[in-house]
Amino acid sequence: MTPPLRQGVARRDAVRAVLGDADLRPEQEEALDALRDGDALLVARSGLGKTAVYDVAGRLVDGLTLVVSPTLSLQRDQLDALRATGNRADAVSSARTAVQRCRALEAAATGDLDVLLLAPEQLGRDEVVDALRDASVGLLVVDEAHCVSEWGHDFRPDYLAVAAARERVGSPRTLAMTATASPHVRDEVVAALGIEGAAVVVGDVDRPEIWLGGREVADERSADDAVVEAVAAVDGAALVYAQTRPDVERLVDRLRDVRPDVRGYHAGLRARERAAVQDAFVAGDLDTVVATSAFGMGIDRPDVRAVVHAGPPPSLDAYYQEVGRAGRDGEASTAVLVHRQEDFAVARHLGAGGGPRRSTLRAVARALAAGEPVDRTGLAEAADLAQRTVARAVGALADVGAVDEQPDGTLRWVADRAVAAVLDDVDAARERRRTTELSRADLVRSYADTLDCRRRVLLGLLGEEHREPCGRCDSCDAGRSEDVTDGAWHIGQDLEHETFGVGTVQVVEPDRITVLFPEHGFTTLATALLEGDESPLRSA
């Protein structure tokens, strides 16, 4: 059983050590209360001090605080903050030499560290997890936890290994944190981390200081003109998100007339150049960056006045994460989505995902089914595949209950059916996930095309009900938003559809509702067709 957090005088001293004379915010208090006897997921908007929560909590547990943090820039910022409050903190990452990584793990094992930060990929390395088993981990923190849902299956499969690594290091109390996550994403995060009993603490994620707008254009040139216009309209720092590297480079050229200091950022640049751009932007020495989605996590510049999207993101969850980088000082800011209708085909392609090939899954499954339990390194050798390829396959097989990771790190085949049947189950699970992801991409189109209050649509997806128009978006400015205070539908309402089964209302607009059906994804239904005896819906 997980020992409770220390309370009373110890908690007051810990808060004072981290925050000085400042008081905990309500969300911070609630999260610490939730952690008293177990695990917690904290969803709180940027600027509400999520790092302070685990800094305080770490001082109230016996043992090491282990933080899973997805980017090097975010780790660096967190290290600085943790050391500033007196923590003995270090990191294990690809930016450190092998000697530095070894010393950090040794310090963790001998009790000479309070906090250790690492990327999820490090938890896929047997030698790292073995070292952490000797470190007496008291608190596991998964930062930017929405990545478990958005990246876990395809982009960074090592996120799917976090739950198994958690068990291997003794199943410590776990705190997952993110700025925004829809109810669907919250459920995925809790399940993926193996903390099904976790308390879910959700703060008010509304950012009323950010004005929301959309611009539909006919062609690429008009789109670029709209981006330039949106950036030129604000006085201060601006961040532009583009979909591809060529888009980044083209927009940098177009923006030079209004922002001579503009720089680009994408994965094709050398690491040193990317770091220089990011450092200059955070320090205030650079005011305009055009970037792919690789830029932004860990960026904590308070005076960003505009976030402009040149094309739709893959989901509204991702959009609000990126929009949230504006106005962190609480001052008026803008967020504009510029799009062409054909852009949504790209977004659907990005949302469709991939996954390991069937031949790869078959090789991994046969290697596991034919022998004794084996660790990841041995499995990669047996299947004659790269370790990252094996990690993706293991994640997919574990999703359908065919593989179990033991406390000692070995993988065991536990399926009670033939390999071919397991692969069919993986295909079916992938298709269900693909359907949901494609429908999430379609929600972005609904947001872009809506004539109703944009904030209501966004916050509805994130589980917050705002039935009155916000007064801070282009639809409200144009007088198009309607009050739905007296409507028959409400967010969180469970309904049963005669074709799609049971679902939950996610978004309410005057003429339509969006419902999440587990087997069919997000589905938009016209309310005019849902009334009367012939309605396909009924209360669940």
* Identical topology for domains 9-202 and 210-351: yes
Quick check: 37 pLDDT over 90? no
Domain 472-539, CATH class in plain words: mainly beta
Domain 358-429, CATH number (from 3.40.30.10, 3.30.70.100, 1.10.10.10, 3.40.47.10): 1.10.10.10
Domain 210-351, CATH class in plain words: alpha beta
Residue extents of the structural domains in the chain: 9-202, 210-351, 358-429, 472-539
pLDDT score for 155: 43
Sign of the alpha-carbon dihedral angle for 518, 520, 522, 527: negative
pLDDT tens per residue across span 277-332: 988 999 999 999 999 987 866 677 899 999 999 999 888 888 988 998 999 899 99
Half-sphere exposure of 131 (CA within 13 A, CB side): 21
Residue with tokens 């007088």: 479
DSSP string, 220-282: HHHHHHHHHHHHHTSSSEEEEEESSHHHHHHHHHHHTTT-TT-EEE-TTS-HHHHHHHHHHHH
What is the model's pTM? 0.80
pLDDT tens per residue across span 228-266: 999 999 999 999 999 999 999 999 999 999 999 999 999
pLDDT score for 1: 60
- CATH, range 9-202: 3.40.50.300
Buried b (16+ CB within 10 A) or exposed e, 99-109: eebeebbebbb
Quick check: 52 pLDDT over 80? yes
